[in-house]
Structure 1
Amino acid sequence: MEVSLSEQDGIRLAIEGCGHGTLHAIYASVEEARRRKGWPDVDLLIIGGDFQSVRNAYDLNCVSMPAKYRSMCDFHEYYSGQRTAPCLTVFVGGNHEASNYLFELYYGGWVAPNIYYVGAANVLRLGPLRIAGMSGIWKGYNYRKPHHERLPYNESDIRSIYHTREVDVRKLLQIRTQIDIGISHDWPKGIEWKGDWKRLFRHKGHLEEDAREGQLGSVAAQYVMDRLRPRYWFSAHLHCKYAAVVDHVATPEATEKLVTTNGNLAAKKNDEEIDLDEDLEEDSSVALAAANADEIDLELEDDTDGAAIVAPGQGLVDVQVPVEPDAPIAGPTLSEEEARAALPEAFRPRPPPTKELIEHPPGISNTTTHFLALDKCLPNKDFLQLTLIPSSDTRTHERPFKLTYDREWLAITRAFALSEPAVFGDPDATIPRPKPQAAYSGLIDQQTQWLDEHLADQDMAVPDGFEVIAPVYDNGNWNLPQYSRTRDRRWIQRQKDSALDPAVVVDSDVGVAEEATEDAEEGEDEVVDVAGEAKKAQSGSCMDRRRDGRF
């Protein structure tokens, strides 16, 4: 199949839902979908979280999931160099991650050759595209806390470290120019009402109650999407395919009136699904007590005529007391306003807080966002979509496109680093209150000027400086408590040299990508229409462990 001129001018993207460590199957699916679509290559693969960049058994202990479901899966081969990602890959963090490794790359970085982690929040460029990403899931009780977790993690840390923080979202909200693509693991709050929600709830019935109670999705992702208004937004997390369209200038639909926004209610669990989050619901909210009919009301209003109310009772007699009129008060009396003004400052009522009027940035002109969520990589699941992003600027950029830093985001990062330095590992740290929009704009403008003076455009490319710095999994029994085998660079080089030698490499997953491609060519499942969605059964030991829906 020949590639049309429009496809040559556009950006060829592959979007994957949750990764769950099945990189062999994911890359095989991308390759097969690309071949069937007739594309010469894929410019970028986006994975929507739960990537599981597990390098060794120690990393596995930092993944939030019950121990019986843990598996080394595929990533360690890409980390060690046994395999190389066949296409440029970027991903955001989810709630099943090797959090110790990802937190080393808080600002983003290469987790393996050709595989880039976005970081807690980031904006990157790929050719003419601007891509914004945010990691984690929404838990309101941790949103305004600092990143207090530090090694060694306890059980609470393992679950809270992937909760989205306001200090990271605050930076994304300072973007003042147009973004093309937004990525989050969790769905933006309310997005379920922007598509075929009836079909969604028929397929995922346990989501309906959460949606109607306002418990579904990420408030932070909603903030960012409404502010940045990207052309496309990709998510994962809920393990289903769902498409929606957000009109940012339209009035709210009638269906949204069904939604309450009680952020303190607990989301209803699906009884048929094994919960891998097992988050400790450390909700700081206070439940309202039900009214007690026998409780004495201490705030009854006084009777208007001032007469005492005497209950009838035995032995009571009427007693009449002469009342003399009050003597006139000498001197002038103060009015109520004057009396209040005469009170000390501490007794005066506080003025109501004034909300800052935040104008929408004129540099953000897009009004419609196309949302797509995808499933996890399993047979007969809608986990992959091939999408062409039209762009008239591709001819000014050489293929293959390279990741580059975004100048505006670098200015924002510098402004926050200088004015609100990040604090890590301190549970007692306090988060500074957000500054007014004008104050942030001034700080960012200063750093933009600094960048223009010190950083040329040719220096904006993300350096390819990945190095192996941690022990590499050696295909041993990682369940053994004495697992401590570290490997030096000579061992890693031997693994690279022998990657294709089945006599040396004993991992049962080696070659699974080739096998999966052959299986896809022989199978009955087809890539769906022009969207290029791959729904193929993949093979491999890690895939076998996930087919029962445990992940």
Structure 2
Amino acid sequence: MLQSTTNDFYFAAVGDVHGQMQNMVKLLSKWESRLGIKLAFVLQVGDFEPHRHEADLSTMSAPTKYKKLGDFPDYYSEKKFFPWPIYFIGGNHEPYGFLEQFPKGQKIINNCYYLGRVSSNIIKGLNVVGLSGIYQKDKFHSLRPHFLEIYTKSNKEYIYFNEDDIAQAIDYKNADILLLHDCPSEIVNPSIIAEIIGFSIKYGDEIGNEFARMLVDLLLPKVVLCGHIHYKHYTHIVTSDNRKIEIYCLADINKGDAAIELFRVTPDGEIQKVLVD
């Protein structure tokens, strides 16, 4: 059991959930029980997939075989409840016909908050900057269609971030945590790219994107959390003024504990990874 002071607290980060809310709750509850802690909140890195009903599935960009309702309807109807506040960004597999109605973010049910396209939110004293979506070169300079056009446009038109999103994110200062779906470039050693591609998303020659990396370099968060590659990976960057930026890529929920990272926040605001056996 972990020892904590009066003023510190714990939070968790979770990788791609893909609508499997109950699996997420079970994993987090298991670690709470094992470590004897209570989570203050949970951050989720996109591909949360809060599908309320079949109509939401029709506005998600994904092959038909992956369009599964999941168990979010049980939470939306209040048959089940999230034990902690969940804060999530959008990935490339989301019901954007639903989420795009709230570009600045919205509480969607009790203890479940969409952080919007790009935002800065103070969560228990931590400044969490979030960027939804993935990078696509030919979409970066384009405006997204209005959400009411989603039934006449390709669902893919809504899964990308653009230059306006990046410009807005750059304006946010003093970030403690940067929440991304698509990871920053130059954080995965080329020697393991083939291993990742072998059982995960096919990227070609690179993983991550330069604009996510630019946000890391400009916002200088203490911690970066990302998903999308369905692979758990850790690295860090040391800045010119000797700041250490921790970067955690999280696996998808089907990989169990590899989808989870736990953190302790000390009274002076230091964010420490919880080491577990």
TM value normalised by structure 2:
0.90
CA deviations over 1:269-289 (Å, ceiling 9, x no partner): xxxxxxxxxxxxxxxxxxxxx
- CA distance, structure 2, for counterparts of residue 172 and residue 530 of structure 1: 28
CA RMSD between the two structures: 2.4
Paired residue for 2:243?
A: 367
SS of 2:253 mapped into structure 1? coil
Matched to 1:84, the amino acid is F
SS of 1:78 mapped into structure 2? helix
Residue 78 (structure 2) pairs with residue 81 (structure 1): yes
Paired residue for 2:11?
A: 13
Measured after TM superposition, the shift of residue 203 of structure 1 is 3.2
Measured after TM superposition, the shift of residue 85 of structure 1 is 0.9
Matched to 2:79, the amino acid is Q
Q: Between Structure 1 and Structure 2, which shows a larger proportion of strand residues? A: 2
Pick closer, same or farther for the CA change 1:171–1:25 going to 2, 3 Å: same
Picking from 60, 65, 74, the partner of 1:63 is 60
Paired residue for 1:182?
A: 178
Matches within 5 A, 1:21-40: 21-39=19-37
CA deviations over 1:136-161 (Å, ceiling 9, x no partner): 00001111111225435358530120
| Preserved CA contact (<8 Å) 1:149 1:157 | no
- CA distance, structure 2, for counterparts of residue 380 and residue 90 of structure 1: 20
Paired residue for 1:120?
A: 117
Pick closer, same or farther for the CA change 1:178–1:78 going to 2, 3 Å: same
| Preserved CA contact (<8 Å) 2:222 2:246 | yes
Matched to 1:60, the amino acid is L
Measured after TM superposition, the shift of residue 84 of structure 1 is 1.6
Residue 234 (structure 2) pairs with residue 237 (structure 1): no
Measured after TM superposition, the shift of residue 379 of structure 1 is 4.8
- CA distance, structure 2, for counterparts of residue 66 and residue 201 of structure 1: 24
SS of 2:122 mapped into structure 1? strand
Counting aligned pairs with the same residue, the percent is: 23
SS of 1:233 mapped into structure 2? strand
Paired residue for 1:385?
A: 261
SS of 1:225 mapped into structure 2? helix
Measured after TM superposition, the shift of residue 210 of structure 1 is 5.5
Matches within 5 A, 1:473-488: none
Which of 1 and 2 has greater Rg?
A: 1
Name the structure, 1 or 2, with higher relative contact order (CA <8 Å, separation 6+).
Answer: 1
| Preserved CA contact (<8 Å) 2:145 2:157 | no
| Preserved CA contact (<8 Å) 2:2 2:35 | no
TM value normalised by structure 1:
0.47
- CA distance, structure 2, for counterparts of residue 115 and residue 22 of structure 1: 14
| Preserved CA contact (<8 Å) 1:164 1:220 | no
CA deviations over 1:13-70 (Å, ceiling 9, x no partner): 111110100111101110110111111x101111111011111111111111122332
| Preserved CA contact (<8 Å) 2:182 2:209 | yes
- CA distance, structure 2, for counterparts of residue 165 and residue 379 of structure 1: 30
CA deviations over 1:141-186 (Å, ceiling 9, x no partner): 11111122543535853012010111111111123x4211000000
SS of 1:167 mapped into structure 2? helix
Paired residue for 2:163?
A: 166
Paired residue for 1:201?
A: 193
SS of 2:98 mapped into structure 1? helix
| Preserved CA contact (<8 Å) 2:118 2:129 | yes
Matched to 2:177, the amino acid is I
